[in-house]
């Protein structure tokens, strides 16, 4: 009985490299849609629509430069992305024309589900007590600042606008309720 022993690093890649896909298509696959199997784990659709393909000189591992329109987790990027360093990975799958329509339909159906966050929140309880003693103002609040990112669909509420999300300051449900017996938690 022979035993097979694998040596080296294993990979989770499924599919072909962009070199193999684009090289076998008319017009180098411009206009076609490819999916990276690594991104299929998310419930939202992720794909690339090929806009331009260039070969790179002196590349033994068959890298190419692909400019593509990127949709990641159902959200379309504003600017095209360049796929170069990951183009050799055998992790891409070409979608058929029928699948392209289904995948790309999400862009038509997509609504901007922007969540509106209240622009002010309460201070933590101990800090609030110090500030009340210093200022004498019991209605003191701190401003909320959002970090900007390309995948975030949150924004602060404008004046007079109702917020969807209010950021609470509380300890939540304690792990050991017996430690908090007899304390006024409100």
For the segment 22-33, what is each residue's pLDDT rounded down to a tens digit?
888 888 888 899
Whether 88 and 152 share a structural domain:
no
SS3 of 149, please? Answer: coil
- The answer to the question of residue 149 being in a domain is yes
Asked if residue 149 lies in contact with residue 71, where contact means CB atoms within 8 angstroms, the answer is no
Which residues face 74 on adjacent strands? none
Domain boundary among 109, 136, 152: 109
- What backbone phi and psi angles, to 5 degrees, belong to 46? -135, 135
Rounded CA gap, 168 and 126, in Å? 15
Range of the domain at 164: 115-180
Per-residue pLDDT at 82: 92
The encoded tokens of residue 180 equal: 């908090």
Whether 63 and 87 share a structural domain:
yes
Does the pTM exceed 0.85? no
CB atoms within 10 A of CB 93: 16
Asked if residue 90 lies in contact with residue 13, where contact means CB atoms within 8 angstroms, the answer is yes
Per-residue confidence at 134, pLDDT binned at 50, 70, 90? very high
Domain boundary among 109, 128, 159: 109
- The answer to the question of residue 92 being in a domain is yes
Rounded CA gap, 11 and 82, in Å? 23
Answer yes or no: is pLDDT of 109 > 70: no
The candidate with the shortest Cα–Cα distance to 161, out of 109, 130, 118, 110, is 118
Rounded CA gap, 126 and 103, in Å? 51
For the segment 148-168, what is each residue's pLDDT rounded down to a tens digit?
765 567 788 888 888 888 888
- The answer to the question of residue 185 being in a domain is no
Per-residue pLDDT at 149: 67
Q: DSSP secondary-structure letter at 124? A: P
Q: What average pLDDT does range 129-156 have in this prediction? A: 83
């Amino acid at each position: 009985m022979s035993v097979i022993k694998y040596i080296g690093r294993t990979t989770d890649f499924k599919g072909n490299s962009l070199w193999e896909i684009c090289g076998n298509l008319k017009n180098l696959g411009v206009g076609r849609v490819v999916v990276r199997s690594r991104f299929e784990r998310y419930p939202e659709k992720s794909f690339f629509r090929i806009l331009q393909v260039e070969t790179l000189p002196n590349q033994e591992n068959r890298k190419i430069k692909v400019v593509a329109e990127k949709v990641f987790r159902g959200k379309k990027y504003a600017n095209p992305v360049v796929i170069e360093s990951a183009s050799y990975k055998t992790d891409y799958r070409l979608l058929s024309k029928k699948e392209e329509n289904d995948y790309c339909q999400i862009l038509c159906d997509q609504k901007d589900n922007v969540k509106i966050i209240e622009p002010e929140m309460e201070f933590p309880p101990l800090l609030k007590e110090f500030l009340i003693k210093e200022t004498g103002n019991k209605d003191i609040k701190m401003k909320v600042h959002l970090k900007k990112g390309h995948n975030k669909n949150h924004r602060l509420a404008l004046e007079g606008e109702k917020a969807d999300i209010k950021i609470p300051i509380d300890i939540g449900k304690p792990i050991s309720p017996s430690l908090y017996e007899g304390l006024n938690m409100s």
